């Protein structure tokens, strides 16, 4: 079959819009993550908010240690499609939610191994339920508390979980040392698409504020946002800090990357449906920023398109717009060496986040 000059597959007759995942690239990422597990003894979970294409869960389960979720149905997806379907290894299903619903909590306990609470109020509300469930079912649920170090180097505020007025986690001011009984671990999340130097800086602050309480815990979850599979990521520094925390506090360390699992493995193929003009040429695509790539608008970010350049960098410049009625459904401005025609297919590298 004729191969596309940008990706090693034929897209000539591919119906669009279409998401494509290259399993070879996915395996490469998983091998990198597994090397971190092997060198440190840590556990790495798939954060499903970053990649929830459950077709690949059996494959991912051969490398990672399970999934983490933020809702009942997301937890059920990880439990049913990864934990239950992997018979070779014991996998885990974790959940964190800022405020659990009482009418869902019984089912959450049925399908999860770890439950992280956002506040002491939430912990005190549900801890007796957890104990009763454990006694009745003979199943251990490891409970943890999310802490907020009140420090982060995330520049885009909408993605900053430790920013001012954040609803996530317990701050030092609100920490209740006398209410830790029954908790096995702590969780923090203060990164977004960042290198291990950002993790290092967060851990230094976290240790100063909460380190003395770690000696009585069984695990510490570093959260997500680790861009481990990025080409310039400093894996050696990550390994150093994982081993340091494990050895100093005698705790198990968890990481829960989402985007790093599928980083640079996925493509979005879109067809040009029409070309119009309003001061500049506009390509009307069959792909929507708001529907297929919401972070283009929310973050915002500019997805890479193979063969393109920045506006006016190449001979022909276009604005790319989606098929919805939302005026702001704009993918961005791009330039190309050759004029784009109706029926042409453009390939977007979804490096930021893959949503299925």
Task: Give residues with Cβ within 8 angstroms of 319, minimum separation 6.
Answer: 280, 281, 282, 283, 330, 332, 333
User: Does one domain contain both 315 and 239?
Assistant: no
DSSP3 helix / strand / coil % (the chain, rounded to 5): 35, 20, 45
Residue ranges for the known binding site for substrate are 259, 295
- Better-predicted residue by pLDDT, 292 or 334: 334
Residue ranges for the known binding site are 259, 295
User: Does one domain contain both 272 and 248?
Assistant: no
Question: 199 in a domain, yes or no?
Answer: yes
Average of per-residue pLDDT across 147-171:
93
Question: 17 in a domain, yes or no?
Answer: no
Q: Which two tokens stand for residue 142?
A: 């490891």
Average of per-residue pLDDT across 39-43:
98
% of the chain surpassing 70 pLDDT: 97
Average of per-residue pLDDT across 90-98:
97
Task: Give residues with Cβ within 8 angstroms of 108, minimum separation 6.
Answer: 72, 75, 95, 100, 115
Mean pLDDT of the chain, nearest integer: 94
Beta-sheet pairing, 308-309 with 330-336 = antiparallel
Q: What are phi and psi of 219, to 5 degrees?
A: -150, 160
Question: 15 in a domain, yes or no?
Answer: no
The range of the structural domain enclosing residue 315 comes to 265-350
Q: Provide the pLDDT for residue 118.
A: 98
CB 149 within 8 A of CB 206: yes
Q: Provide the pLDDT for residue 47.
A: 97
Nearest residue to 114 (alpha-carbon basis) of 91, 128, 93:
93
Which of 226, 261, 296 terminates a domain? The answer is 261
Average of per-residue pLDDT across 88-113:
97
Q: Provide the pLDDT for residue 17.
A: 94
Q: Provide the pLDDT for residue 295.
A: 84
Q: Provide the pLDDT for residue 156.
A: 84
At 355, the pLDDT band (50, 70, 90 cuts) reads: very low
The reply to whether the predicted model has a pTM over 0.75 is yes
User: Does one domain contain both 222 and 270?
Assistant: no
At 2, the pLDDT band (50, 70, 90 cuts) reads: low
Q: Which two tokens stand for residue 342?
A: 């109706």
């Amino acid at each position: 079959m004729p191969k596309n000059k940008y990706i090693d597959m034929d897209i000539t007759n591919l119906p669009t819009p279409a998401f494509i995942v290259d399993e070879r690239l996915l395996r490469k990422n998983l091998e990198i993550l597994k090397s971190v597990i092997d060198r440190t003894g840590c556990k790495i979970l798939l954060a499903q908010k970053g990649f929830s294409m459950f077709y690949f869960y059996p494959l991912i389960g051969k490398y990672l240690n399970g999934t983490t979720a933020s809702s009942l149905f997301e937890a059920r997806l990880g439990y049913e499609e990864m934990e239950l379907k992997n018979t070779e290894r014991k996998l885990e299903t974790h959940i964190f939610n800022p405020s659990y619903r009482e009418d869902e909590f019984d089912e959450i306990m049925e399908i999860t191994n770890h439950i992280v609470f956002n506040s002491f109020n939430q912990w005190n509300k549900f801890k007796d339920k957890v104990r009763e469930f454990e006694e009745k079912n003979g199943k251990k649920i490891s409970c943890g508390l999310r802490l907020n170090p009140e420090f982060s180097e995330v520049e885009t505020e909408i993605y900053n979980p430790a920013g001012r007025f954040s609803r996530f986690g317990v701050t030092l001011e609100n920490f209740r040392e006398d209410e830790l009984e029954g908790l096995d671990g702590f969780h923090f999340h203060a990164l977004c698409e960042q290198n291990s130097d950002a993790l290092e800086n967060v851990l230094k602050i976290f240790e100063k504020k909460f380190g003395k309480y770690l000696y009585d815990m069984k695990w510490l979850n570093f959260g997500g946002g680790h861009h481990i599979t990025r080409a310039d990521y400093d894996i050696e520094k990550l390994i150093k800090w994982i081993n340091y925390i494990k050895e100093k506090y005698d705790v198990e360390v968890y990481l829960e990357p989402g985007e790093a699992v599928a980083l640079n493995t996925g493509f979005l193929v879109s067809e040009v449906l029409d070309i119009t003009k309003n001061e500049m040429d506009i390509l009307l695509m069959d792909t929507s920023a708001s529907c297929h790539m919401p972070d283009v608008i929310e973050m915002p970010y500019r997805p890479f398109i193979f063969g393109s350049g920045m506006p006016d960098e190449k001979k022909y410049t276009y604005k790319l717009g989606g098929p919805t009625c939302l005026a702001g459904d704009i993918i961005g401005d791009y330039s190309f060496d050759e004029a784009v025609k109706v029926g042409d297919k453009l390939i977007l590298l979804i490096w930021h986040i893959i949503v299925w």
